[in-house]
Amino acid sequence: MTRIRKKDDSSEVRSVTLVGLAWNVVLSVGKFFAGYFGGSQALVADAIHSASDFITDIAIIIGSKFWNAPPDADHPYGHRRFETLISVGIGLAVCAVGIGLGYNAVMALVNGEQSHPEWIAAVMAAVSIVVKEALFRYTRAKGRAMRSEAVEANAWHHRSDAYSSIPVLIAVLFGIIFPTLWFADSVGAIIVSCFILHSGYEIAWPGIHRVADVGASEEVAQKLKEVALACPNVISIHGFRTRYVGSDLHVDLHVVVPAEMTLLAAHDLAEDVERRLIDAGENVVDALVHIDPYSEERVRRGEIKTLER
């Protein structure tokens, strides 16, 4: 069967990621200085979280060139696995940031370090929530349109930054309104670290599954089976398998057809099944269709089924 390659979306990926990169620079610098001069450890920690986005943004910008490279002799299925590896890397980087920030906040509590934040810190935290939520929605929409797991992973990184700023805002407000609660800011930083760790897990875990050649979900697999069964002259299907290579889905299946079909007709049917699977909207880029001629003897032996609906 003819292998259909996904179009090169590296320029789109870079464009979307550069938007996030520019805003991350502005926010991280703004939060750092607002936290430093506004006396908020939690906001400084949040600034470091935003700064960690630089690494992931740059990784995606550079990585998009690699995962869009065409198949070659050493990589006949293409290079989309780079996209998965970058997604996992983003998740692990987010987790590392969360652990570091949590440790610093806990040590601040243990050592009795007091902080008395000012209003500039609260304003900056509120601005960060609004901007990062807008970036999340923009990046996720673009990632889904391009079917790029790395771009979607980066979108969730933006969302984690928005979420992490919420407890920062609350902690800063408590510290301003109730000056005796000197520990509120450090508690806010600990809560931020928990949000960040959860976000890192949510980003990395799907990618780890895909590195292990995870297949499509039951819902997607059932939809693709129904697409194949809907083709004229398809009696049944079996041996249906799927696996992800990056965000691309590859499908293998056996199609049972009438035994009297000519070789040319069977070949055209296989091409039709492949085309329908690729057009099904589930990011299928390749379908290997094996033709099985129907026979009563093979049914009795259990090699094929008369119908699979």
Per residue in 195-238, pLDDT (tens digit) is 778 878 877 887 777 666 677 888 999 999 999 999 999 998 98
CB 255 within 8 A of CB 237: yes
With 0-12 CB in 10 A as exposed, 13-18 as middle and 19+ as buried, what is 269?
buried
Comparison of pLDDT for 10 and 261, the residue scoring more: 261
Q: Which CATH superfamily is domain 218-300 in?
A: Cation efflux protein, cytoplasmic domain (3.30.70.1350)
pLDDT at position 56, please?
Answer: 67
CB 35 within 8 A of CB 50: no
Task: Assign 111 a pLDDT band (cuts: 50, 70, 90).
Answer: confident
Q: Same CATH fold, 218-300 and 10-211?
A: no
- Strand bridging mode 248-257 / 236-245: antiparallel
Angstrom distance (rounded) from CA 155 to CA 157: 5
pLDDT at position 5, please?
Answer: 44
pLDDT at position 256, please?
Answer: 92
Share of the chain above pLDDT 90, in %: 20
Angstrom distance (rounded) from CA 234 to CA 148: 33
Q: Which residues lie across from 253 on neighbouring strands?
A: 289
In sequence order, the 6+-apart residues with CB closer than 8 A to the CB of 21 are 53, 54, 57, 58, 61
Per residue in 59-74, pLDDT (tens digit) is 667 666 666 667 677 6
Angstrom distance (rounded) from CA 12 to CA 18: 10
Judged against a pLDDT cut of 60, whether residue 4 lies above it is answered with no
How distant, in Å, are the alpha carbons of 64, 218, 241, 251 from that of 282?
A: 21, 13, 14, 11
Task: Assign 273 a pLDDT band (cuts: 50, 70, 90).
Answer: very high
Q: Which CATH superfamily is domain 10-211 in?
A: Cation efflux protein transmembrane domain (1.20.1510.10)
Least reliable range by pLDDT among 5-9, 81-85, 256-260: 5-9
Comparison of pLDDT for 164 and 258, the residue scoring more: 258
- Dump the DSSP string for the chain: -PPPPPP--HHHHHHHHHHHHHHHHHHHHHHHHHHHHTT-HHHHHHHHHHHHHHHHHHHHHHHHHHHTSPP-SS-TT-STHHHHHHHHHHHHHHHHHHHHHHHHHHHHHHTT------HHHHHHHHHHHHHHHHHHHHHHHHHHHHT-HHHHHHHHHHHHHHHHHHHHHHHHHHHHH-TT-TTHHHHHHHHHHHHHHHHHHHHHHHHHHHHTT----HHHHHHHHHHHHTSTT--EEEEEEEEEETTEEEEEEEEEE-TT--HHHHHHHHHHHHHHHHTTSS-EEEEEEEEEE--HHHHHTTSS-S---
- Computed on alpha carbons and rounded to an integer, the radius of gyration of the chain in Å comes to 26
Q: Structural domain boundaries of the chain?
A: 10-211, 218-300
Task: Assign 309 a pLDDT band (cuts: 50, 70, 90).
Answer: very low
pLDDT at position 306, please?
Answer: 56
Task: Assign 52 a pLDDT band (cuts: 50, 70, 90).
Answer: low
pLDDT at position 2, please?
Answer: 41
Per residue in 125-151, pLDDT (tens digit) is 899 899 989 989 998 888 888 777 678
pTM (whole model) above 0.75? no
pLDDT at position 104, please?
Answer: 79
Q: Which residues lie across from 160 on neighbouring strands?
A: none
Q: Mean pLDDT score of the chain, rounded to an integer?
A: 80
Which of 13-17, 167-171, 172-176, 275-279 has maximum average pLDDT? 275-279
What mean pLDDT is predicted for residues 30-56?
80
pLDDT at position 19, please?
Answer: 85
Judged against a pLDDT cut of 90, whether residue 116 lies above it is answered with no
Per residue in 236-247, pLDDT (tens digit) is 898 899 988 767
Judged against a pLDDT cut of 80, whether residue 169 lies above it is answered with yes
Give the residue among 57, 69, 67 at the shortest CA–CA distance from 18: 57
pLDDT at position 3, please?
Answer: 45
What mean pLDDT is predicted for residues 88-104?
82
Judged against a pLDDT cut of 80, whether residue 36 lies above it is answered with yes
